Each structure stands twice: as C-alpha cells, then as structure tokens.
Amino acid sequence: MAGFLGKSAPNRVTGALRSIVMGWKRGARGDGEERETAMTNLFRHGTREKATRAATGLRSVLKLGVLAGLLVALLVFPVVALGGVSAKAGLDSIDRLSVKLGESDPPQTSYVYAADGTTLISQFFDEFRRNVPLDEVAPIMQKAVIAAEDARFYSHNGVDMKGILRAAAANRRSGEVEQGASTLTMQYVRGALRLNAETSEEVLAVTEQTASRKVREMRLAMATEEQLTKNEILERYLNQVYFGHRAYGIYAASYVYFSKSPKDLTLTQAATLAGLIQAPSAYDPAASDKTMATKRRNWVIDRMAGLGYVSTEQAEKTKAKPIELDLSQPSNSCMDLSKQAKMYGFFCDFVRHWWRAQPQFGETPRDRENNLRRGGYTIITSVEPNVQEKVYDRVVETQSKDSRFAHGVVAVEAGTGRVKAMAVNRNFDIDQSGNGTHSHPVAAGKGMKGNYPNTVNALLGGGSMAGYQAGSTFKMFTMLAALEEGMPLDTKIYSPHRVRTQYPVASGPASCGGVWCPSNASGAMTGTQTMWSGFGKSVNTYFAQLIQRVGADKAVKMAERLGLHWRSSTDAYFADPERSAGWGAFTLGVADTTPLEMAGAYATVAAEGIYCEPTPILKAVDQQGRDLPEAAPDCHREVDAQVARAATDAARCVTGYKAAKGGCGSWSTAPGFYNDVGRPVAGKTGTTDSTRAAWFVGFTPELAVASFIADPDNPFNAVGDGNSQKPIDTAAVTLRAALKGQPEQKFTPPKGSVVH
C-alpha cells in the first residue's frame, strides 16, 4: 500500500488513461504493447507482490485478445490519480480514513423495552438496523452473499483484477454495462463513506460516477484489507448493506422478510436475500409478481452450486420451491406501535421527551433525538407490563376513548422517581380524521376536530402541555410549607363557611370587596380545624388562612421544589417571585399541572422528603454494552423527613386510614380508599370549581399515583359530580396492581415539634 501510485502518480495515471483511450479509439488493431504498458504502469507501484500479480494478470489477458473488453471496462470504471495531492500526503490521508472507516459503525436501531427486558415497546431508527456478529449469521447466508457479490472475496486484496477483466469482457460482448467489478470490500468502503458523509456535498462525492471516486474507493479497499480481516469485513458488510423495505443489514432483513434471526436462515431464504443487494426494488420478493425475485434467487443458488457451496441436487430441489415470506413491519417511534404495544403510546412519548431533555446526548433536543435514532441503544424502561395492562384496561373501561373527557393515571415509585404505569383513554395517534367534534364552541364552529379518540398531546405529562387545574391536591404544598415554617399539625384555625382574606382579586364568585373570599363545599366544615381535619375534609377556608399565615410565595416555591412547572402564561405570571406572595388562590389548585408532576410531588412525601425527578428509564446501554449513567435516579433531599412524615399523617385522614398522632374528625373525602387498597395509604382528593376537573393523588410508602378526569380541549366543560369518584377508584386499582405480592409497608409516624 505504501507505494501504490508513487511520487509521479498524477502524470503516470493520466498518461496511462490517455494511452488506453486513444488505443480504444483506434480499435482492436491498435498497439497492444502500448496499452499493456499503460495498464501495467498504472498498477505496478503497489506492494511488490500485489503489483506483480496484477500486472501479470493483465498481460495474460491482453495476450489472449480481450483488450477491447478491458477498454470498455475502463471507460465504465475510469481510473485517474487524485491530482494536486502529493503521494505521501495522499497515502497518509487514505490510511487515516481507512482506520476511521474500520472503527466506525453504521447507524443502528435503538430498542425500548418494558421493565421485564423482553416486552418490546418500540424502536427508534433512521435506518432499521441491528449489528450482529458473524457467528450469529447462518453460514449459508455468508456463502450466498459471497457467491452473489464477490466469489473471489477470500483471495483478492480488495481490488479484484480478474473481476475487472471479467466485467469488461462481458460488457464488451453485450455492448452495454451489465456487470460491475466492485469487490465486496469496495462496496463496504462505498457504504461506509456514505454513512460517514455529513453534508450533501460529501454524499455526492461518495456516489458520483467519477474517476477520482473510483480510484479512491480502490485505494481505500486495499487499505481496509490491511486494517481488517476478511471475516471482519464480511461482518461489517452484512450489517451495512440495504435489502429493501427499510431493512438495513442482515438482522433487519431476516426480521422483515422472514420474521426470524439471521442464524436460522435456510438456503432459499439466504439466496433470496443475497439476490436483493444489487437491486432491492427490482427483485422484491414481497411484490405480487415474484417472477424476478425467483429468477434472481435461482441465479444465486446456481452460483453457490458452481462454487461448491451446495450440491447440484440440493440446488435443483431448492429452486423448484416457491419463495415463502413471513413479513414483519418494524415499529418506529411512538406513533407506529404494534397492536400489542398500543397501550404504551403515551409512555413511549414520555421516553422520547425525556431523552430529548438530557444534555449528555447532544447539544440540542434535535441532536439528542438523532442520537437516539442512530445510536443503537438498548433501553429498559421502568414501566411494568402487568401493571400497565391492568391500568390501561381500567381507564378505557371506566371512560370510553370516544368520550370528550380524558381519564388517566400515572404511578411513580417513591425513592427512585421511576414511572411504573402511565395510561389514558386515548390512542397515541396523529390521525384525527375520525375524531369527534371539538368540545370548545369556538373551535367547533370552525369545524375543528377534538382530541379524541386520537391525539399526540402529552395528556399525562412529559411534554409541553400545561395540564389541568388540580384543585385541592395543591393543599399539600401549603401544608408542607407551613410545617417547614414551624407550624405543627395541631395548628388550630377557626374556619367559617366563607372567609375574607387579604389577597386582592378581580370580580367574580370568590370576590368580596375586591379581595379573595373563598368558601367551603359544605356547611358541615364550619368550625375549628387542625391540619389533620382540615386536610381530611378539604376545608377551603382553613387552607386560605393557613397560606396567608405562611405566605403564598412559600407554598408556590414548595410546589416548584417538588417538580411542578408553570407552562401556561397565566400561571407563570402569578408564580413569578415578584407576584407569588399575592397568589392566595394557589392553595386551592387554580394552576395547571400534569398527573406525572403530581405523582412525582406526592412520591417525595412518600419517600420522607427525598425528591426524585420522574424518569421512564430503568437501565440503558450503548452499542458496546456500557451502562449509561443518565439512567440512574436523580434524587436529593428536598424536605425534612419529619415534615414529610407529618404531612403523611394528615393525608392518612383523607383515605380512612386514620392518623397516627391526631384526630381526623368524623368524616373525610375518600373514606373507603384504605379498604379498597388494603394496606397503609394516604392521599388527597381534588375538584375544581363546578367540578370541571376531578383528581385523586394517593400513596403508600412505596408508590404514588395521580389520577384525573378532565376535558383537555375545553377546561370549562365540567365533568360533573358523577365522574368525580372515578379518579379515586382508578388510583385504588393502580396501587393494588402495582403492589400485588409485595410485603406491606407502614408509614413512620412523625414526632416532635411537627406534631404539637
């Protein structure tokens, strides 16, 4: 390789080509010696042994009188030097590039699995490809490719002079270009250069039919043969080549056409696939007319028989059989899931959004998603298949997909933030042609479709959607802020049916004299309350006074510390540090949030103050099998353990579990929840004005779940009191399913100043 063209390569190659072309123009009676000398000079400056072998082969053929065919081949595959580059610099560049190609991998599919590591949720790819080692490819498949593409693969040095002469003679006889002379190594180099091209100009340089490209390809092929073994080249080629139908590489082709592993391919299957490489569309076996595909398969089998790879009897027997396919369509991203994986659509989208948010995977969200589509990652997610199926069935049975109201639930593991289930009564699908009428009158008047049953909006969180007002579930943030400020659970506040606060507010039902004057849902709530009874009964006037004592800005800040974000412009305006102190209505949940955020916030309380960012990932590895550190839980202490335990003790009152340290009163808003779950549990109900949305967030020491029902298209469309129980029941079903078979855990009671 070190002396392939020599110092005066440009002049010598150009001169050789000029002599050859002139000879061709003079016809076969021209000076054969001149043409022979030109070709010999062209290749004689390589490694001495290789150059001698090439020149000898040329002389032998020229003396046999096939000069005209050779000249046709040279016109088809022109050879000139890389002008303007010194020999040493050019060779150094070739060597460096060959090393780079040898070390680079083609884009690979990333696979997303459920927590069991076997349930496939989806795949992400630009090119459907999965690299496999050569020993996982059936030997008959290896032989089929060699027979079809490069019979002398194991004997040449990357450039097959016999093949060039063969193609020349064949093309000369036919009068047109019927055969090529690219070796398997040259094809690999061309494909690797294409995959490494980053601009349209680079892609053009790799694919254009020019003399300089062909010379470069030959030189790189020879250099590659010095860098890699034959089997390494064959393995890379098999993982790189395109087989049609979005199948790149032998693993993808085996899956797409035959729904099997490449190690299990039969002779007829191997020959069919090998025959596709030169023209996947022309020889497509999935076409209604398989004539061309069968003819091509049989040609490959004949080649294999001629090389001794299969017996004549075996070849004839196989050729007599029709091509039988078992087609599979690979899913790509989250809107192209298999029927079995449809229930994971919104969770899959959360995985995609999570990946786009990780700066380690690229400079921009788009770069990170490109990384996902090309990086060949194996991602084991946190979602539990059995739990997901149970929860998905529950929400769909409870609220039809054709309903305007979205009903969903998210389960987050305390202490890790891992999402165990994520379901809603919608299809994750961009096609809205069959959707119902939009529920907002203005949108409906314009003929707009609603987001049911199909939508790609992140209804459960993880995207850019603002969410829904969460009602009294926000009282948790006020209570945590008050406890943190030194107010104990037995803080007593007289709570009338309606209370006048100091917070200015515009005119409306809750306004009296220009200030906020909230009222309770029932007259039975009037009286002196503590945090236990006030939280258990969801007494609005108790928490309106409590937030006034502690400061609304502290309650807002607490929510932010526990993972809430303000995506609507209105919420962002009031949550601004300069204004948040005046946002008293915050305690009644007038801000929008998502089930994912609320489950994550309450999981912090369940974990005794340890906040973990909600994550869909359990484990992720790259192509080399290395664990990605980004998959580890991102946790830190956000709330003192005693404060969290105190809040839990009050939240027990809601569910009928009763507090460990205080009195809950004679009734609560979800008194049957404890019995439904059947183990220690706490939580909070939440309804908005006129029951436009209903929520329940419940938790055990291990898990927090947030369930809701609301109209995503029209927040003013009330779900009604008849639907307010559904989130409570769905949360109970989710906790039972997620904790089935696990030992019961109990809450640690609070002690000290947070109690009294």
Q: Which H/E stretch holds residue 301?
A: helix 291-306
* CA separation for the pair 707, 425 (Å, rounded): 12
Q: Cβ neighbours of residue 633 under 8 Å, at least 6 residues apart? A: 415, 416, 417, 418, 612, 613, 615
Sign, CA dihedral 585-591-594-596, equals negative
Residue pLDDT, tens place only, 420-462? 999 999 999 999 999 999 999 999 999 999 999 999 999 999 9
Helix axes 32-43, 67-76, angle to 10 degrees: 50
Q: Looking at residue 102, what is its pLDDT?
A: 57
Residue with tokens 């469309």: 717
Instruction: Please give the angle made by the CA atoms of 744, 383 and 608, to the nearest 5 degrees.
Output: 45
* Nearest residue to 614 via CA among 651, 568, 564: 564
Task: pLDDT band for 507, please (50, 70, 90 cuts).
Answer: confident
Q: Looking at residue 447, what is its pLDDT?
A: 95
Residue 494's φ and ψ, nearest 5 degrees, are -70, 130
Q: Looking at residue 96, what is its pLDDT?
A: 56
Q: With a cut of 80, say whether residue 216 has pLDDT above it.
A: yes
User: Where are the chain's structural domains?
Assistant: 127-154+188-319
Q: How far is CA 69 from its chain centroid? A: 52
CB 512 within 8 A of CB 491: no
At residue 138, what is the residue type?
A: A
Residue pLDDT, tens place only, 630-648? 999 999 999 999 999 999 9
In sequence order, the β-bridge partners of residue 566 are none
In sequence order, the β-bridge partners of residue 423 are 409
**Between 633 and 193, the higher pLDDT residue:** 633
CB 34 within 8 A of CB 23: yes
Render 619-674 in DSSP notation, one character per residue.
EEE-TT-PBPGGGS--EEE-S-HHHHHHHHHHHHHHHTS--SSS---S--SSTTHH
* Nearest residue to 330 via CA among 576, 111, 138, 625: 111
In terms of DSSP bridges, do strands 110-113 and 378-381 run parallel, antiparallel, or are they unpaired? parallel
* CA separation for the pair 702, 620 (Å, rounded): 23
In terms of DSSP bridges, do strands 515-516 and 610-612 run parallel, antiparallel, or are they unpaired? unpaired
For residue 453, cis peptide bond before it (omega within 30 degrees of 0): yes
Q: Looking at residue 207, what is its pLDDT?
A: 77
* CA separation for the pair 612, 639 (Å, rounded): 12
* CA separation for the pair 52, 60 (Å, rounded): 12
Question: What's the mean pLDDT in 164-191?
Answer: 79
CB 662 within 8 A of CB 532: yes
* Nearest residue to 294 via CA among 312, 321, 267, 313: 321
Q: How far is CA 683 from its chain centroid? A: 33
Terminal Cα distance for the chain, rounded: 86
Residue pLDDT, tens place only, 352-403? 999 999 999 999 999 999 999 999 999 999 999 999 999 999 999 999 999 9
Q: Looking at residue 51, what is its pLDDT?
A: 44
Residue pLDDT, tens place only, 677-712? 999 999 999 999 999 999 999 999 999 999 999 999
Query: Tell me, what DSSP letter sits at residue 259?
Result: S
- Choose the weakest-confidence range: 145-149, 202-206, 343-347, 745-749: 202-206
Q: Looking at residue 588, what is its pLDDT?
A: 98
Q: Looking at residue 24, what is its pLDDT?
A: 38
Q: Cβ neighbours of residue 306 under 8 Å, at least 6 residues apart? A: 147
- Choose the weakest-confidence range: 92-101, 440-449, 541-550: 92-101
Task: pLDDT band for 659, please (50, 70, 90 cuts).
Answer: very high
How many CB atoms are closer than 10 A to CB 401? Answer: 15
CB 333 within 8 A of CB 122: yes
Q: Three-class SS of residue 472? A: helix
Q: How far is CA 297 from its chain centroid? A: 36
Q: With a cut of 70, say whether residue 62 has pLDDT above it.
A: no
How many CB atoms are closer than 10 A to CB 335? Answer: 17
Task: pLDDT band for 228, please (50, 70, 90 cuts).
Answer: very high
Q: Which H/E stretch holds residue 705?
A: strand 703-710
- Choose the weakest-confidence range: 59-68, 395-404, 515-524, 593-602: 59-68
* CA separation for the pair 256, 460 (Å, rounded): 33
Q: Three-class SS of residue 364? A: coil
Q: Looking at residue 530, what is its pLDDT?
A: 98
Q: With a cut of 70, say whether residue 54 has pLDDT above it.
A: no
Q: Looking at residue 384, what is its pLDDT?
A: 98
* CA separation for the pair 441, 463 (Å, rounded): 26
Q: Looking at residue 297, what is its pLDDT?
A: 98
- Choose the weakest-confidence range: 40-44, 386-390, 496-500, 747-751: 40-44
- Choose the weakest-confidence range: 158-167, 176-185, 575-584: 176-185
Q: What is the mean pLDDT of the chain?
A: 88
* CA separation for the pair 559, 557 (Å, rounded): 5
* CA separation for the pair 277, 242 (Å, rounded): 6
Q: With a cut of 70, say whether residue 664 has pLDDT above it.
A: yes
* Nearest residue to 441 via CA among 713, 104, 121: 713
Tokens of 261: 């592993």
Question: What's the mean pLDDT in 246-254?
Answer: 98
* Nearest residue to 245 via CA among 149, 329, 124, 141: 329
In the CATH hierarchy, which fold is given to the domain comprising 127-154+188-319? Answer: Penicillin binding protein transpeptidase fold (1.10.3810)
Percent above pLDDT 90 for the chain: 78
Task: pLDDT band for 103, please (50, 70, 90 cuts).
Answer: low
Q: Looking at residue 506, what is its pLDDT?
A: 85
* CA separation for the pair 193, 207 (Å, rounded): 9
Task: pLDDT band for 194, please (50, 70, 90 cuts).
Answer: confident
Residue with tokens 């004005």: 689
**What Rg do the C-alpha atoms of the chain give, in angstroms?**
36
* CA separation for the pair 395, 733 (Å, rounded): 10
Residue pLDDT, tens place only, 471-497? 999 999 999 999 999 999 999 999 999
